[in-house]
Amino acid sequence: MNYIEKTIKKGIKLHILNTDKFKTNLVAVFLTTKLEKETVTPNALISAILRRGTNNLKTQEEISKKLEELYGASFDCGIDKTGDNQVLKFYIQTINDDYIPQQEENMLKTSIENIFDIVFNPLTEKEGFKKEYVDQEKKNMKQRIEGRVDNKARYALDRCIEEMYKDKPYGLYKFGDVNSLENIDENNLYKTYKKLIDECKIDIFISGNINNEVEDIIKENENIKKLKERDAKYNTTSEKPEDKKGEVTEKMSVTQGKLVMGLDLNIQNEDEKYYTLVYNNILGGSANSKIFQNVREKASLAYSAGSSYFKYKNNIFINCGIEISNYEKAVELIKAQIEDMKNNNFTNEELENAKNSIIATIKIIDDEQDTLIIYYFGQELSNNKITIEDYIKKIEEIKREDILNIANKVEITTIYFLRD
């Protein structure tokens, strides 16, 4: 694998990941902007509008037909919160020319042109987006936001984050809110889009068995030529959560209670993020972890029990699906595990196992095409470039004191419980 980074214009970067491990080429365009109450909803809606039509392919149907023609090129778009940023992600994946039964058009070139067409050349009417599309997608977006309750475990996690970051950017739902949708129309949305495209950070990733011509294809592309230089407006730091929030209980018709505990810690430098990764693995990140072993295997309180580390926010979230009457028992048991970590009650074996399992996940980064892109994008946003080999070395060097240091910084901020 060979990684090259090029600045196309100020604020617009091209990342080329040359690898022969895959049968496909994957092209991604990420638009990164500040997560803000005023723009979170329109931005989410923009991503839905863009896939409806371009000035060349005017309907969804035409776009779908074009993609099918390209041997089922898959187009995908999504919205993510990465730290205090909102990221609009667009992907197109096509099979590499080596696997096409008969040589036709240059698949990579066509797919690059298509994704740029979708992102940078949307169908417009007068001074706005097509009204019909905006009206439909507003309705769909409303459904989507309300549809949050359909996945109870995911909903509980989102709600815990919301409580923890009340009135702060990270507390915003990535698709925005229903009320803000009402004031959006085809004209003001198009203005928001123009502003976004002019000011956001743009990253273009191309991964696959590709040659040097790809850089020219991009530089010569009309849609790219039209883009202005910019001082990209995005957040490189992020706000801390509110002080201790305490316990929040919410009622909904559920069979099983969903418990989420939000933990916060103050991190001084990049190395401490690596320590936290290992700390989290020992606490709740694997089948060997304290939480999985004690809450599930020993106490039989849960089937799903674990924790994850959100490195952009330096939070750990502990998730558990439990019998509603076992709430206190589960909370106490989890708190005891956090205390255990503080009191140096973890074995060398637990530490080594955690390091090994993290190293294993690092080693497979370049075996997965989308993971590889996300890895480099994360580095781009945090401005911390480290090769996979150095990353592994960092983990290998972690010692007990490093973990203890983290254990003593961890604080429970919010305990959220969804029950009937």
Partner 1 sequence: MKVIENSKVKEKLYFEQLENGMPIMIIPKSGMRKKYLIWGTNYGSNDNIFVVPGENKEIEVPNGVAHFLEHKMFEQENGTNSLDVLTSLGVEANAYTTNDHTAYLFECTTNFYEAMDELMDYVQNPYFTDENVEKEKGIIGQEIMMYDDYPDWKVYLNAMQAMYHNNPIKIDVVGTIETISKIDKDVLYKCYNTFYNQSNMAMVICGDFEPEKLLEEIKKRLKPTKTNGEIKRIYPEEPENIVQEKIEQKMEVSQPMYTIGIKDKPTTNNGKELVKKDLAIQILLELIIGKSSNLYKKLYDDGIIYGGIRGSNEFSKTYAHILISGQSENPEKVFDMFKNEVQNFKANGINSENFNRIKKKLYGEYVEQYNDVSDIAGMFLADYFKGINSFDYVNEIGNINIEYLIQILNDIFKEEKMVISVIR
Using CB under 8 A, pick the residue from 2, 38, 103, 150 that binds partner 1. Answer: 150
Using CB under 8 A, pick the residue from 21, 166, 342, 399 that binds partner 1. Answer: 21
Using CB under 8 A, pick the residue from 123, 227, 232, 359 that binds partner 1. Answer: 359
Distance CA 280, CA 309 (A): 6
Dihedral sign (CA 23, 24, 25, 28): negative
Position 72 contacts partner 1 (CB under 8 A): yes
Contacts of residue 276, defined as CB under 8 A and 6 or more positions apart, other chains included, come to: 265, 267, 309, 311, 314, 316, 406
CB of 384 to partner 1, least distance (A): 23
Using CB under 8 A, pick the residue from 56, 71, 123, 382 that binds partner 1. Answer: 71
CB of 33 to partner 1, least distance (A): 24
CB of 397 to partner 1, least distance (A): 17
Which residues in 205-264 contact partner 1 (CB under 8 A)?
A: 252-256
CA-nearest of 77, 94, 154, 410 to 266 is 410
Among residues 232 and 374, whose Cβ is nearest to partner 1? 374
Which residues in 302-321 contact partner 1 (CB under 8 A)?
A: 302-304, 321
Which residues in 109-148 contact partner 1 (CB under 8 A)?
A: 136, 139-140, 143-144, 146-148
**Amino acid occupying residue 142:** K
Contacts of residue 420, defined as CB under 8 A and 6 or more positions apart, other chains included, come to: 251, 252, 253, 254, 255, 257, 324
CA-nearest of 381, 384, 361 to 371 is 361
Contacts of residue 327, defined as CB under 8 A and 6 or more positions apart, other chains included, come to: 257, 259, 417, 419
Q: Report phi then psi at 149, rounded to 5.
A: -75, -10
Beta bridge partners of 129: 124
CB of 306 to partner 1, least distance (A): 12
Position 348 contacts partner 1 (CB under 8 A): no
CB of 263 to partner 1, least distance (A): 22
Among residues 11 and 257, whose Cβ is nearest to partner 1? 257
SS3 130: coil
Tell me 284's DSSP state: I
Which chain residues interact with partner 1 by CB under 8 A? 20-24, 59-61, 64-65, 67-74, 93-95, 98-99, 101, 136, 139-140, 143-144, 146-153, 252-256, 286-288, 293, 296-297, 300-304, 321-323, 349, 353, 356-357, 359-361, 363-364, 366-369
